[in-house]
Structure 1
């Protein structure tokens, strides 16, 4: 995501390296490269032009402090303007009705049905809502089945009516069903088309008029670039939607849609889809996205994801076990499960400042933990709790049972023991032993 844009922007800032101050002459070439970078990322031409003009005015009008280099000042200005371009602040979804009604719109193939399920999961698990999904795509039988499967996965009921081919009546009946059964949120999936047509627009406009939703969200595939922005404009002209869900931001996208939609349509991006799992939907924060575009990472989002998996009581129990040197393979397995729940490994690594460029060409296998889990699951309960009993014959049996070899088993046990030592050292000595601990770790040696 945004990798090419990040590289090109970084190169443009280097043009100011060594300059004593920002002038109209030395900034011209930098902004020329910035504009090229934006256009190459499929950003709307007018948006790119206005953006660079705004940056130029702010750069020439700013006083560069002695402690701040011109290149650093330019990064700060571009960062702030990128965040502003994408909306400035995050905008919440309106779910205050009883039931609150959200209408989902978008083209077929944009991920609309999948993200209907993802949104229900997010609002159920993080906002405490009791949602009902309404399968309003009566033309594509697979859409109804897909929504039912997704509903089952996330534990959310799906309202359907066999033989009813009237999406307007179906949406109204779904809301009645929600009121009668104590649901405080209704999310209506609607039919998509391969392209915008009059029938589609008339139909979704009729649904909007009949159910007067509290929120209309337009789902758009970020990989379609400027086409995504044009489609959003067409839908907005007819529906006046409230916000955008941008999908597939974890894919090979140039970022033009994310950077252009707000300025062209004047509607906020509210959520972004960052993976295939049902919990892979995040609230969109313009400033954090600007951080990532400029290679600064997104440590706030990383901490938030970690906190979602954090259990204070379990942490206290674990700390006591570590202090007593009782950290076991069961605890090790539990930590792995928590990391996996946080999301895609490459996406997580990219949130660490400075890591985006370092991991650009690296392949992260989301099944990277499978071999480790197979080895641990091949141990007996006693072996997991008491690693000290893992002698040669036991290790050989574990290797056979896990489909690995004795070297892989030995390596995991060694890594486990190193981890246990590090954890105990941190618990006992805190900062005093940190330097010694780092020297003893493989990556700390010179």
Structure 2
């Protein structure tokens, strides 16, 4: 995400990073390039002007410290101002001391509101251990109710629906009564959208709010629409109060205009971001971490959080024991591969690692289908073969290739690379530093 903006900002700031001294002309030149990069990223022009003015004012007043040279301090200032621009501190849903907490979802048709409803339900269920129900109040869009029934079930939420013939306000009130009766912790109300902000949309939203008295109103906007998303948020804010924003389709936003503008324009924070098509591709929005990603500093905290969601402590200890005793098998490898893939796209994960963020390695188009083929090959082996890959020769390799839809050469490569990996691990256990250059040459 934000690839274009990130590349341009990193290019501009790399010129000042190592400078031992900076003149006013140096700072003015950097600000011009930053201003152009932000405008090309579809950031609101008033926001751009305020941002560059704030950075310039602080940069001209730099006080020399022993820890950072002037160039590094400018980067620190840009990082801090980007963080402030996107909201400063991360925020979240306000939970009621008397359940259920009611969350009202609003947004235009096509913004990804129904999918965001299911993603939020899944997050609250898994991370907060909440009992979640969703109310299907979008009765106008074809198949909207059916869609929520499907994705709601996948998210592990109870879906309250009364078809498409009932009044949305009545459905919302009925769903709240059901949630109270069933002892739900959270009720998320999925409302109807329109193609644009109009009187009918706002009246219905106001009536539902009056009926269910939500603790939090979230506006879902499509990050890929850039300034249009910001304009929609501004229009909603003028006629219907909302508490925070969910940016959908953030993974497809190469520019970043919406993320960088919406807080400054509306005064409302971005609370969550949808970062992929799967229900698990949904995360709390952290302005400081996003600023670091944009500037190529990585996002190690988000990386750790994703990893912790996949790691069981007992399993980790057992894996450590196997590695120490050189008992790591293809079954273990497959299990770890699945865990890594559940953390998200590999290109996204590489961009979170300090030192790789902004590096060419993090921009590689990792072929996820190649990982599918690896999984298929391992699954085509017998349990005994996975535990003893050194036995996979001749006819066994041919059978595995046919069973996985791959070639014998691909099976050969997998077995060879796994053997190299075990030798590498064994060497590390013995205190030997691996020759990474030699490993890459053998690929």
Structure 2-normalised TM-score?
A: 0.95
Hey, what does 2:209 align to over in structure 1? 208
Superposed displacement of residue 141, structure 1: 3.3
Distance in 2 separating the partners of 1:58 and 1:444:
48
Please list the CA deviations of residues 80-136 of structure 1 after superposition, one character each: whole Å capped at 9, or x if unmatched. 100011111110211234000000000111110000000000000111001001001
For 1:351 and 1:231, the matched residues in 2 are separated by: 30
Give, in angstroms, the shift of residue 66 of structure 1: 5.9
2:5 equivalent in structure 1: 5
Paired residues for 1:102-121 under 5 Å:
102-121=103-122
- Provide the secondary structure at the position in 2 that maps to 1:146: helix
Instruction: Give the equivalent residue in structure 1 for 2:280.
Output: 279
Distance in 2 of aligned mates of 1:263 and 1:116: 25
Alignment root-mean-square deviation, CA: 1.9
1:438 corresponds to which residue?
Answer: 435
Give the Å deviation of 1:350.
1.5
Q: Deviations over 1:201-241 (max 9, x none)?
A: 11101111111101100000011111111110111222211
Q: Is the 8 A contact 1:15 1:29 kept in 2?
A: no
Q: Secondary structure at the match of 1:304?
A: helix
Measured against aligned partners, the alpha-carbon deviations of 1:123-179 in whole angstroms (never above 9, x if no partner) come to 001110010010010112311011011012122121111354311111010010111
Distance 1:252 1:246, change over 3 A: closer
Range with greater deviation from structure 2 (126-135 or 138-147): 138-147
Q: Does 1:424 align with 2:426?
A: yes
Correspondence for 1:227: 228
Distance 1:163 1:226, change over 3 A: closer
Distance 1:332 1:234 in 2: 51
Matches of 1:310 and 1:317 in 2, distance apart?
A: 12
Check the 8 A contact 1:164/1:170 in 2, yes or no: no
Note if contact 1:438-1:444 (Cα within 8 Å) is conserved in structure 2.
no
Partner residue of 2:310?
309
* 1:11-410 → structure 2 map (5 Å cutoff): 11-16=11-16, 20-65=20-65, 68-96=68-96, 97-162=98-163, 164-353=165-354, 354-359=356-361, 362-410=364-412
- Partner of 1:278, secondary structure, is coil
Q: Are 1:412 and 2:409 matched, yes or no? A: no
SS in 2 for 1:103: strand
Contact 2:88 2:287 in 1 (8 A): yes
C-alpha separation between the residues in 2 aligned to 1:114 and 1:337?
A: 24
> Matches of 1:90 and 1:3 in 2, distance apart?
22
CA deviation map 1:56-94 (0-9, x unaligned): 111111213366333222111101100011111110211
- For residues 397-427 of structure 1, the C-alpha deviation after alignment (integer angstroms, 9 at most, x for no partner) is 212222222211111011111222223333x
Instruction: Identify if the C-alpha distance between structure 1 residues 444 and 53 changes in structure 2 by more than 3 Å, giving closer, same or farther.
Output: farther
SS in 1 for 2:435: helix
Structure 1 pair 356–22 and aligned structure 2 pair: CA distance change class (3 A)? closer
Separation (CA, whole Å) in 1 of partners of 2:52 and 2:79: 12
Shift of 1:309: 0.4
**Structure 1 residue 18, shift from structure 2 partner:** 7.0
Distance in 1 separating the partners of 2:127 and 2:436? 41
- Shift in Å at residue 275 of structure 1? 0.3
Shift in Å, 1:359: 4.5
**Greater mean alpha carbon deviation, residues 326-335 or residues 396-405:** 396-405
Report the 3-state secondary structure (helix = DSSP H, G, I; strand = E; otherwise coil) of the residue aligned with 1:369. helix
- Aligned 8 A contact 2:99 2:186 in 1: yes
The range that moved more, 127-136 or 384-393, is 384-393
Secondary structure, in 3 states, of the residue corresponding to 2:409?
helix
**Distance in 2 between the 1:77 and 1:238 partners?**
36
CA contact (8 A) 1:22 1:59 kept: no
Distance of 1:363 and 1:420 partners within structure 2? 26
Secondary structure of residue in 2 paired with 1:42: coil
Instruction: Decide whether aligned partners of structure 1 residues 252 and 214 sit closer, same or farther in structure 2, where only a CA change above 3 A counts.
Output: closer
* SS of residue in 1 equivalent to 2:202: helix
Residues paired across the two proteins, number: 440
Distance 1:266 1:414, change over 3 A: same
CA distance in 1, matches of 2:82, 2:164: 49
Is the 8 Å Cα contact of residues 383 and 389 (structure 1) preserved in structure 2? yes
Gap runs ≥5 in structure 2: none
Does the C-alpha gap of structure 1 residues 237 and 159 become closer, same or farther in structure 2, counting only changes over 3 Å? same
